[in-house]
Amino acid sequence: MVLCPIFACSSNNSSPDLDPSVIESIKQIASTEGFKPYEGNPVVDVGPAGSWDAGALGSMTVLIAEDVFHLYYESWGQRSEKEWDAAEYESLQIGHATSPDGIHWTKDPANPALPRGGEADFDRTGVWDPYVIYEEGLFKMWYGGGGGSQPNFGWAYATSKDGSHFEKKGLIGIGNQTGVEDCHVVHDMESGLYYMYYWYGWDEPEGLYLVTSPTETGFDFNEAVNIKIEGDNSYMKKFGHVLRDKDGWHMFYSNFVQPHCPNSITRYAYSTDGIHWEAKNKRLVRGHDSEVLKLADDLYLMFSSPQNGFDRTGTDVRLSVYKGTLKDLAVKAPFFEIDPPSPLEGKKFHIATGDDPPTTFHFKPEGEVVLSEDWNTEDPYTFNAYYIHEGRQVQIMGEG
């Protein structure tokens, strides 16, 4: 993979030329102390019963084109309280909403902006995880397709001139395998390279990757670089949305625990080269899958899914607003009360039940517990879960 040196890179995250009155109205709900949740949340909600987006919303991406804010999101047409259901998954399609100010949104009457494919198409069982940028009068979308009852899925590309009607261009790149998801793209205008940060599920818990391409579709996933975030010992760190400015590279990400990210907190990491990352603030906002939009050098919008809302029925889109620079986020306190630590935090227990193999329970901060089955010391099976500790009772919820 070819990466440009830091001094040769530019960013497509330049400040938009917005009406000063819009900027001033947004500043009125912002805080200099960090990303402050908007009191009028949610800003985009699920549709009425029976509509195409009645189930849940997520994986939003936000941009500005010609003074109009555009938000794209995946939507479940059906979503129950089940942790997983293939038929519900196959109701996933991609929607679009617009706003004059980034606060008040109207759903596109032409929705879904990107429907799932026909019976002969790879994406017939759903489309999801959109990421969109706007360049030279063209909306460029990367998205995932397939899954559900179809074991294989892949990453694809589509374009639109009006932002409402997209033309699918097909699967992209080399080595585009099942497992690639949650992509975020930065276009370095000076080098011409597209930087794609994504999650590769088969490499959990270290599934964050970076791959580059000189074109929108030429990514060679076989050449991808594994991304690690130093200073954060959460078992899984996902949803890596990256911005680039004169101060360096900035990533907004979250801890990840199935089934619905019950303890998710959006975090901030910094890098000088886009590859080597260090956690700077692990308590920005409750929630996950956060997309950050730059309005000025000292004004940012964050759109995210609520805590305990990953792929969950009724999940909506929330807004938080920050007046300040990204590099100053390292010292900002969170806009929520921090739960007192459990007496179990930091402790390990080795437990065997009946004929089951022994398991190590390692209790960590923010309700996370990492479990390792000890019977196979060369390749132990390890996963994380969420725990609630009340008195003498410990309830563990998650994969196991």
pLDDT in tens, 274-285: 999 999 999 999
- pLDDT at residue 11 greater than cutoff 50: no
Phi/psi for 188 (5° steps) reads -80, 105
Residues 372-379 have a mean pLDDT of: 70
CA distances to 28, 44, 138, 273 from 316, rounded to whole Å, are 23, 6, 27, 34
Residues 35-64 have a mean pLDDT of: 98
pLDDT at 377: 61
Separation of alpha carbons 357 and 12, rounded Å: 52
Separation of alpha carbons 347 and 369, rounded Å: 10
The answer to whether the CB of 210 falls within 8 A of the CB of 197 is yes
Give the pLDDT band of residue 10 (cuts 50, 70, 90): very low
Q: CATH classification of 6-331, choosing from 2.40.40.20, 3.40.50.300, 3.40.50.800, 2.115.10.20?
A: 2.115.10.20
Domain ranges of the chain: 6-331, 348-398
Determine the distance from the C-alpha atom of residue 68 to the mean position of all C-alpha atoms in its chain, rounded to a whole number: 23
CB count within 10 Å of CB 353 equals 8
The dihedral through the CA atoms of 117, 214, 267, 17 has a sign that is: negative
pLDDT tens digits, one per residue of 138-190: 999 999 999 888 777 899 999 999 999 999 999 999 998 788 999 999 998 87
The answer to whether the CB of 278 falls within 8 A of the CB of 231 is yes
Give the pLDDT band of residue 378 (cuts 50, 70, 90): low
Q: Which residue type sits at 393?
A: Q
Closest CA to 212 of 270, 274, 143: 274
pLDDT tens digits, one per residue of 186-213: 998 878 999 999 999 999 999 999 999 9
pLDDT at 12: 47
Phi/psi for 124 (5° steps) reads -70, -20
DSSP-derived letter for residue 301 is: E
pLDDT at 376: 60
Average pLDDT, the chain: 92
pLDDT tens digits, one per residue of 333-345: 998 888 889 999 9
Contacts of 292 (CB under 8 A, 6+ apart): 241, 243, 250, 252, 300, 301, 302
Q: What percent of the chain has pLDDT over 70?
A: 94
pLDDT at 252: 98
pLDDT tens digits, one per residue of 283-306: 999 999 999 999 999 999 999 999
Residues 29-35 have a mean pLDDT of: 97
Separation of alpha carbons 152 and 390, rounded Å: 42
- pLDDT at residue 230 greater than cutoff 50: yes
The answer to whether the CB of 139 falls within 8 A of the CB of 65 is yes
